[in-house]
Each structure stands twice: as structure tokens, then as C-alpha cells.
Amino acid sequence: MINKILIISCSTILFSCNENTRKKNIVLPKNKENTENSNIKNNLPYSSEQVKKIYRYDKETSEYSININEKDLLEFNQNEVGLPIKENDFDINPKANTKYFNIETFNFPNKAYCKLITYNTYGENDINIVNIQLNSYKNDKLIDQLLLDCRFTFEIEYYRTFVINKDKTIKLTKYSVNNIEINENGDIIGKKTKPEITETVLNYKIDNNGKFIKL
């Protein structure tokens, strides 16, 4: 009787050990989405210093223009020109026939990405303006647009600097430089010995839905 009990106990222990070994050897399938997200690489942080080669400044006309071959420019589609642009202070929008250059693409988890683009547009008195803009997409659908730089001179010089960080935060600094000396009658009488510089700092974050949220 004792021998039978011993045999049953040993068999139970052996079965339990084999079962535990099988459980340990089970390899769970990797989550495809997590694997794809871990493989995402971006050229971040990215700043306005890295786009200086994209545009040029003409001292004779005091105008900016993008320094890109025509054949490398792309056309906006109707959806891209119809969506409001955040921080578009002068409400100067690209038209359907405006062409842009794709500077860089930043990929994020869950099929989200941003395109950093630049294009020429025109303000009052046909002043040439260089815009640098960040467009946000989710599942290839345009979600939001943020104007990172609007660079032109019309008596007062306007420009911006920016940094796009790895954590999807964006620091945006706006500058206006007033070099013009004006008399009591409002007439321009020359240039200031020391320009008046106004600086405004803004912070944004790209949320999980692809929206640019002001912090």
C-alpha cells in the first residue's frame, strides 16, 4: 500500500514539474504595434538653425525667399489650404497654386507624424514672405497646422525661432525688430541708432490626437 502511495506521489510531482516547464517555455507573441513604435526614429530635437540653408535674404530688396529648385516643390491640395493655421498672426494663407518644400518628416507612435514644410507667400504690397510650418497627420489625414516661422520685412522686420523636442513639445519665439525712426507727423526720417526688439515666447505640445495644444 505504501509503495502505491509513493508511486502516485512521484508521478504527480513529475507531471507538475513537466507542466511548469512547458509553461516557462511558452513564448508570448510580441505586440506588433509596440514593436513598430519602438522602432520609430526621428531627427529630434530639431531647431530653426537647421533650416537656415532653405531660405535666403536679399539685402537690396530686403526680402526673403526659399532657396529650393522648382522641380523639388510640391503642390498643396484643397484640404491643406482650407484648414486654419495656428499662430498665423497676419492671416496670410497659401493658395491652391502655392508650392511648398517638405524639409523633414517626424514619425510618432500610433500612425501619427508631422511634416515640416516651407513655402513663399505674399503680404501687403506684394511683399515676399517665407513661412515655415509644421503639419500634423494621423492615419494620413491632416489634423492640425502650426506656423513656426513667418519671415519678412515691411518697415519692421518679423521672424521667429523654434525648437521641436523629442517629447513632442515645441518652443516658439516671435521677434519684431523696429529700425525705423518716425517723427511726430508719422513720417519716416531715418533709422534708429538702437533697434527696438520685441520678443514673445510660446510653448506647444503635440497631443495623442495630433493636435497642437498651447501650454
Asked whether 88 and 71 are in contact (CB, 8 A), the reply is: no
More confident residue, 214 or 10: 214
Assess whether pLDDT exceeds 80 at residue 120. Answer: yes
| Residue range 106-134: mean pLDDT, rounded | 91
Question: Could you write out the DSSP letters of every residue in 83-133?
Answer: S--BT-TT-----TT-EEEEEEEEEETTTEEEEEEEEEEE-GGG-EEEEEE
- SS3 (DSSP) at 1: coil
pLDDT band at 10 (very low <50, low <70, confident <90, very high): very low
Contacts of 106 (CB under 8 A, 6+ apart): 42, 43, 44, 46, 113, 114, 115, 116, 164
Separation of alpha carbons 196 and 179, rounded Å: 7
What would the pLDDT profile of 61-110 be if each residue is shown by its tens digit? 888 999 999 899 998 877 778 789 999 999 888 887 889 999 999 999 98
pTM of the model: 0.79
pLDDT at 147: 98
Return all residues near 82 (Cβ < 8 A) that are at least 6 apart. none
Confidence at residue 184, expressed as pLDDT on a 0 to 100 scale = 79
How far is CA 125 from each of CA 89, 153, 154, 177, 195, rounded to the nearest angstrom? 17, 12, 9, 20, 24
- Kindly indicate the confidence band of residue 44, based on its pLDDT and cuts at 50, 70 and 90: very high
pLDDT recorded at residue 122? 85
Taking only Cα atoms into account, the Rg of the chain, rounded to an integer number of angstroms, comes to 29
Mean of the per-residue pLDDT values of the chain:
83
Select the highest-mean-pLDDT range: 18-27, 73-82, 109-118, 183-192.
Answer: 109-118
Is the per-residue pLDDT at 33 higher than 60?
no
Model pLDDT for residues 133-186, shown as the tens digit of each residue: 999 999 999 999 999 999 998 888 999 999 999 999 999 999 999 877 777 776
